Amino acid sequence: MRAGGPAHVLRAPLAEPSLRGKAAACIGAGMFTNQLIKCAVLLVAATLATIGPAHSTPSAGTLKTLPQGIYQCALPGDAAGAAWRPVAGMDFTIINASSYESERGHGTYLLKGNQLVFTRGPLKGVQLQRSGEYTLRAMEQDASLGAMRCVRLGSSV
Percent of the chain beyond pLDDT 70? 61
Q: Cα–Cα distances in Å, from 52 out to 55, 115, 129, 141?
A: 9, 27, 32, 37
Mean pLDDT, the chain, whole residue set: 76
Question: Which pLDDT band, with edges at 50, 70 and 90, does 154 fall under?
Answer: confident
Give pLDDT tens digits for 73-105.
Answer: 999 998 888 899 999 999 999 999 899 999 999
pLDDT at residue 45, rounded to an integer? 52
pLDDT tops 80 at residue 123: yes
pLDDT at residue 56, rounded to an integer? 39
Bridge pairing between strands 84-86 and 63-64: unpaired
Mean pLDDT along residues 132-146: 93
> Are the CB atoms for 72 and 153 separated by under 8 Å?
yes
**What counts of helices (H) and strands (E) characterise the chain?**
3, 10
Mean pLDDT along residues 12-26: 48
pLDDT tops 70 at residue 140: yes
Give pLDDT tens digits for 56-74.
Answer: 344 457 899 999 999 999 9
Mean pLDDT along residues 25-38: 54
Q: Cα–Cα distances in Å, from 60 out to 55, 113, 116, 131, 149?
A: 11, 5, 12, 14, 21
pLDDT at residue 79, rounded to an integer? 87
pLDDT at residue 119, rounded to an integer? 97
